[in-house]
């Protein structure tokens, strides 16, 4: 490897790793902001949260890699142009194409890594991520009894305390409403103070109450009218609440298995084939049903399979009286309405099946499109950076955001079109097809030293045009 290649790779790999880390971090913060309500207030172990964030970060890798390659290529070539290093390389007989060669090899390597990750690592990470997030969302909030608030997260009880000591365990002026015996029995426990603690296995919450009363008032049966009130005082009483449902429970890993986001290319291809066969079977069922509905019931019953046995409806209507004709018309309307409802039902089922198949196609194509995006966006970013000749973080960042947002928006529109069957699965490549000519044009402009995209050239041209108009203005007036 030549020294010039080492210099180029050193200048390219640094921004690549930095941008990749920042992109994953930004996407991860977006995820945390979206699910912040499911994470806070549940007393989750730091290990569980770290596990969820790790799996979530892995799912962002296929999208973060193209962003990193795009930004790093613009920044590297822009720095070379701004510091006149690119001019020095050209003066030494090194073309722009040769300068881009080491970075192109890295971009190809990133393309391969992105596909391997999307096909082998992403399905596993997505499965773990979904299961862990489901367990967290299912977990109840941690027991948090605050003063002057009614706490009803424990099934069958409502608890209110007027004061809480700084130790977080000692409670003052406690009222507990016990609804475990149903609406026909009113039980209230009142205590001056109490101590709250959990068992070592965190399955039970213990309330040790001091100096209080138990109030009981039955309201059913023979006592419905009299409603006697029973009051029993106590110096000390221990209540036990089952809080095992508040613990974090691991779900079986097979819960989300088979989801299209958790399959590799071979599994997606096999699943799509099976789903298409099922759809063809449903089409056949629908065709048989529709044929049955549209035939005359008498013909279908008495002459199955005989095409010569069709009934002449005009002759039948001529040979029957008015009442019989009305019955025939009424029955025909009922049959037509039933056929129409069956058509709508089957159409809805078929549309749902087709959309489900399209989602598999989308996931299958995405594994390729996001991988190819690494090379495609590099072929846009590197020549663009050499043309604008602006390094640093400003211009590369703005250009990267514009290019990637454009690529992403076109991709989202294409994905929606594929999902709704407006276009076939090849529609997932529309953003790639749009950017290929742009990349080819930019590469041609950069390698041929064309000044078409050079802002300085356009400014100079505008100044010349303005000066020419000013010089010719007197002659025009005369």
Report pLDDT digits (tens) over 278-322: 888 888 877 777 666 655 444 444 444 444 444 555 555 566 667
Q: Name the more confident of 335 and 52.
A: 52
Report pLDDT digits (tens) over 416-433: 999 888 888 898 999 999
* φ, ψ at 29 (rounded to 5°): -65, -35
Predicted confidence at residue 303, as pLDDT, reads 46
Q: What is the mean pLDDT of residues 198-204?
A: 76
Report pLDDT digits (tens) over 51-88: 889 999 999 998 899 999 988 888 888 888 778 877 78
Q: Which of 150-164, 183-197, 245-259 is the least confident region?
A: 245-259
Predicted confidence at residue 460, as pLDDT, reads 65
Predicted confidence at residue 54, as pLDDT, reads 92
- Kindly give, in sequence order, each residue whose CB lies less than 8 Å from that of residue 336, ignoring residues fewer than 6 positions away: none
Q: Which of 109-118, 225-234, 329-338, 454-463 has the highest mean pLDDT?
A: 109-118
Q: Name the more confident of 394 and 277.
A: 277
Query: What are the strands of the beta sheet with 185-198, ordered from one edge?
Result: 150-151, 157-164, 170-178, 185-198, 204-218, 230-242
Predicted confidence at residue 457, as pLDDT, reads 61
Report pLDDT digits (tens) over 129-166: 888 888 777 766 556 778 888 888 787 888 888 888 88
Report pLDDT digits (tens) over 254-269: 667 778 888 889 988 8
Q: Which of 233-242, 333-342, 456-465 is the least confident region?
A: 456-465
Predicted confidence at residue 245, as pLDDT, reads 63
């Amino acid at each position: 490897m030549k020294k010039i290649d080492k210099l180029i790779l050193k200048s390219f790999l640094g921004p690549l790793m930095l941008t990749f880390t920042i992109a994953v971090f930004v996407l991860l913060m977006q995820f945390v902001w979206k699910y912040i309500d499911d994470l806070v207030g549940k007393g989750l172990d730091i290990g569980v949260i770290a596990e969820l964030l790790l799996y979530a970060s892995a799912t962002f890798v296929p999208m973060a890699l193209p962003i990193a390659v795009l930004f790093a290529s613009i920044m590297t070539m822009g720095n070379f142009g701004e510091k006149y290093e690119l001019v020095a390389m050209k003066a030494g007989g090194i073309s722009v194409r040769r300068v881009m060669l080491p970075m192109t090899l890295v971009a190809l390597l990133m393309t391969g890594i992105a596909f391997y990750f999307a096909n082998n690592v992403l399905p596993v990470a997505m499965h773990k991520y979904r299961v862990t997030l489901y367990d967290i969302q299912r977990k109840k909030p941690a027991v948090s009894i605050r003063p002057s608030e009614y706490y009803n997260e424990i099934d069958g009880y409502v608890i209110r305390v007027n004061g809480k000591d700084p130790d977080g365990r000692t409670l003052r002026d406690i009222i507990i409403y016990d609804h475990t015996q149903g609406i026909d029995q009113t039980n209230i426990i009142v205590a001056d103070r109490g101590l709250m603690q959990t068992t070592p296995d965190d399955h039970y919450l213990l309330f040790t109450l001091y100096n209080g009363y138990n109030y009981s008032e039955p309201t059913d049966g023979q006592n419905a009218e009299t409603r006697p009130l029973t009051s029993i005082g106590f110096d000390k009483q221990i209540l036990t609440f089952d809080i095992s449902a508040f613990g974090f429970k691991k779900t079986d890993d097979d819960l989300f298995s088979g989801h299209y986001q958790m399959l590799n290319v071979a599994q997606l291809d096999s699943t799509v084939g099976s789903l298409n066969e099922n759809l063809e079977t449903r089409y056949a069922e629908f065709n048989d049903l529709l044929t049955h509905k549209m035939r005359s019931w008498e013909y279908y019953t008495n002459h199955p399979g005989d095409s010569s046995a069709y009934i002449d409806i005009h002759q039948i209507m001529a040979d029957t009286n008015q009442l019989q004709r009305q019955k025939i018309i009424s029955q025909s309307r009922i049959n037509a309405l039933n056929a129409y409802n069956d058509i709508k039902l089957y159409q809805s089922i078929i549309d749902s099946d087709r959309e489900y198949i399209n989602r598999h196609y989308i996931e299958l194509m995405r594994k390729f499109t996001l991988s190819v995006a690494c090379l495609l966006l590099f072929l846009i970013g590197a020549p663009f950076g050499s043309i604008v000749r602006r390094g640093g973080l400003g211009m590369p960042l703005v250009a990267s955001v514009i290019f990637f947002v454009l690529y992403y928006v076109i991709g989202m529109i294409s994905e929606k079109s594929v999902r709704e069957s407006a276009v076939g699965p090849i529609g997932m490549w529309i953003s790639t097809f749009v950017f290929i000519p742009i990349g080819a044009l930019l590469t041609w402009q950069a390698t041929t030293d064309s000044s078409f995209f050079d802002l300085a050239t356009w400014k100079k041209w505008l100044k010349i045009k303005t000066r020419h108009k000013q010089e010719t203005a007197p002659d025009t007036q005369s």
